[in-house]
Amino acid sequence: MSEIFSPEWMAGFAAEWNKEPALAGALEQIGFKSTIAYGFKGDPAPKGVMVIEGGKVVSSGAYAGEPLSWDIRCTPEHWDKWLKKPPTMMDLGVAFTTGKMKFEVGDYSAMIKDPRMAGPFIKSFAAMSRVG
């Protein structure tokens, strides 16, 4: 397996994202457009980024300074744990409230209250766990 958030890993994540109807399909229905970055807490910048248009990933790779809609950070240990067993809504809520998951950019509270986005957000972790 490629290193998490490497360009190769991000390409695999994009492929898993796009083939998941409960993720890409659900977000397509609401015209979701976003630039989402992922990385590690404490790092000066995220590692990987995906550009989503109409719910589907149209590009992915290493973060190169582009403006972000979302920047999601966790410790390497938390990412590793979630790659092995995707989190539930409760797991994510606990991680957010205890500071183990941080949104450097984006509003977790607003997103999680919108069922059109909360469900796909959970599904994104399942897609991540299938990257091999």
Domains of the chain: 7-129 (3.30.1050.10)
Six-digit token string for 1: 């397996």
Supply the DSSP symbol for 33. Answer: -
Measured distance CA(119)–CA(68) in Å, rounded: 21
- The encoded tokens of residue 24 equal 């890409």
Which secondary structure element, helix H or strand E, spans residue 120, and what is its range? helix 115-129
Contacts of 61 (CB under 8 A, 6+ apart): 7, 10, 11, 48, 49
Q: What is the pTM of this model?
A: 0.93
pLDDT at residue 114, as a whole number? 87
Q: Which residue has the tokens 């979630």?
A: 82
Give the pLDDT of residue 21.
94
The C-alpha angle with vertex 35 and arms to 123 and 96, in degrees rounded to 5, equals 55
Amino acid at 35: T
pLDDT tens track for 72-94: 999 999 999 999 999 998 998 89
Tokens linked to 77? 């240990």
